[in-house]
Amino acid sequence: MFILNSFEIKHKNKVIYDCVFNNEKMEERENLFTTLIIGENGAGKSFLLKMLSDFFRHISNRSKPNNVKYDFFKVEYQLNENHYSIEKSKGRLTSYKNNKLVDIESVGFPNKFIALSFMVNDKFSFVNEKEGIGRYRYLGVRATSNATYTSTIQKKLLSSILNILSDSRKTPSLNKVFDFVGLNGELEIVYTLKRKTLFTRKMGSTLLKSKFESILRRKEFINKSYSEELNVSANELNEFINSLAGSEFVSGNKIIYSLDFSKSQDFDLIRSIKFLDLMEKLELISSPDIKFVKDDSFDFEYTSSGEKHFIFTMINLISTIEVDSLILIDEPELSLHPKWQMKYIRLLKNITNEFKTSHCILASHSHFMVSDLAPESSSLVSLQKIIDNGIESRVSKLIPYDTYSWSAENILYEVFKLRTTRNSYFEYDLTNLLKMVSEQSTDTESISQLQKKLEKYVFNENDPINVILSQSRSYLESLRDD
């Protein structure tokens, strides 16, 4: 079981972060532990997640433990029955296991550090899976360090789906994701022929090799391992292409595979995917299009932004998560309807039930998610940026009370420190009315006008604005009596 207790960064005697995520010893728990970080824009929520991912990525890579910037880092966490503390100060790394000094080689780390976001400008470090990344997994939408492509998003999604289908522990979670968005768990994976005569004019192994070598010369970014793989399997690939001709998977100029997650079946696509990937590299077929089946089939590209975000992030998470993982999710509420935001953390715990020994930290502006924090498996952290004598710093606070099922208004007031959910003009008028009454103004006309104006916007008889309006009416009556 993994849980992150605290994280601290200092630089040039200045506190960058000093965050406590959990201050209790954790025993067995029924659900994934979630920590929600809230704070205003500019408070540093996203950067905190980046620093956490970079710290664990570098510190667990024992060949490069000093690649972490800043003068001082300290992290404390629990992993199963052991408590670990790792500190980097002035270039020196010190680690403790159960309060005893140990070598970094003796330190246990989470099995995965998962960085998840659907923003094209997320702050997580981009690392391609082919580069050998150890425990760290970047699951954002970027295909390079600064760009994203629709085809890449669909290929990532398809790869994750096939990975889930090969793991019986994870397949039920896939159905839960599709149920949540109102889909029935049926997909079509569609490849379009680029070489239209692919199935009418047979290709030999020699031609396949020659074509691939030609593409390698034109596209140096293609990994050389594909060339080696093709040289080994060219005959096998040729047999696969010939076997597709006239099969049930070919319709016109399309190759179509159907998947139904609600049924236990042997999926042909899992066996065929390595050949299809090679065919795509050879520019024989297009990148795959994912079509969802509802009342009718429709492309992933045409799902709503909220559906696209939710499906992509959740399926990638299910595919990648292992027991004892650290999961970092930035702005999970992006494009989601409030109804989905209110259920997000509950579903997150549900779909990760087989991996409940992990810890998920989310950075969000959503007060709806605050109301979904179950106290026995959640914590809430407030992050605030302050400027004192021209020096900027951040203050972190572990909020001690249970916010589960609080009303939106209560959360906005108590947690986000927002005095009213109404707009600023309404608040301005309300403040003016209070000021005139408290200062015993004799401008009865202005008080009366504000009174009538604000009365139009009372929600119901329980609206707390009624208290202020009642006091105003009493004050006006006392002036008239005088």
Neighbours of 2 (CB within 10 A): 21
Mean pLDDT of 123-135: 73
- CB-based contact 283:226 (threshold 8 Å): no
- pLDDT category of residue 84 using cuts at 50, 70 and 90: very high
Give percent above pLDDT 70 in the chain: 83
User: Which pLDDT tens digit goes with each residue over 215-232?
Assistant: 656 655 455 555 555 554
DSSP structural state of residue 392:
E
pLDDT of residue 356: 94
Residues 156 and 161: their CA atoms lie apart, in Å, by 9
The amino acid at 282: L
Do the Cβ atoms of 326 and 112 come closer than 8 Å? yes
Identify whether the C-beta of residue 45 lies closer than 8 Å to the C-beta of residue 390. Answer: no
Block residue for tokens 């992933």: 300
* DSSP string for 61-89: STTSTT---SSEEEEEEEETTEEEEEEEE
**Residue 188, phi then psi, degrees to nearest 5:** -120, 130
Sheet holding 250-251, edge to edge: 250-251, 254-260, 186-192, 289-293, 297-299
Q: Is 295 exposed, middle or buried (0-12, 13-18, 19+ CB in 10 A)?
A: exposed
* pLDDT surpasses 50 at 275: yes
Residue 132 has pLDDT above 50, yes or no: no
Cα four-point dihedral sign 304, 306, 308, 311: negative
165 to 161, 212, 242, 297: CA distances (angstroms): 6, 30, 26, 21
Closest to 124 in 3D by CA, of 372, 369, 326, 274: 326
pLDDT of the residue at 422 = 59
Q: By mean pLDDT, which of 64-73, 294-303, 441-450 is the weakest?
A: 294-303
Cα angle: 445, vertex 447, 449; to 5 degrees: 70
State residue 344's pLDDT score. Answer: 93
For residue 342, give both structure tokens.
């209110």
**In angstroms, how far is the first alpha carbon of the chain from the final one?**
72
CATH for 2-143+322-414 is 3.40.50
C-alpha torsion angle, residues 220, 221, 224, 230 (rounded to 10): -90
- Comparison of pLDDT for 210 and 212, the residue scoring more: 210
pLDDT digits (tens, 9 = 90+) for 36-68: 999 888 889 999 999 999 999 888 876 565 566
Statement: residue 390 has pLDDT above 50:
yes
Q: Among 113-122, 247-256, 414-423, 433-442, name the one with the lowest average pLDDT.
A: 414-423
Residues of the chain with CATH 3.40.50: 2-143+322-414
Q: What is the pLDDT of residue 232?
A: 47
Distance CA 425, CA 447 (A): 16
Alpha helices in 166-223 (DSSP H): 171-180, 205-218
Which pTM does this prediction carry?
0.81
Task: Supply the mean pLDDT for the chain.
Answer: 83
Distance, in Å, from the CA atom of 367 to the CA atom of 379, rounded to the nearest integer, reads: 14
- pLDDT for residue 322: 95
26 pLDDT more than 50: yes
Cβ-contact 318, 177 below 8 angstroms:
yes
Q: What is the mean pLDDT of residues 117-138?
A: 80
Please determine, for residue 2, whether its predicted confidence score (pLDDT) is greater than 50. yes
Helices 465-481/444-455 angle, 10° precision: 150
Label residues 54-81 b or e (16+ Cβ within 10 Å = b).
bbbbbbbeeeeeeebeeebbbbbbbbee
Our CA angle for 72, 73, 78, nearest 5°, is 155
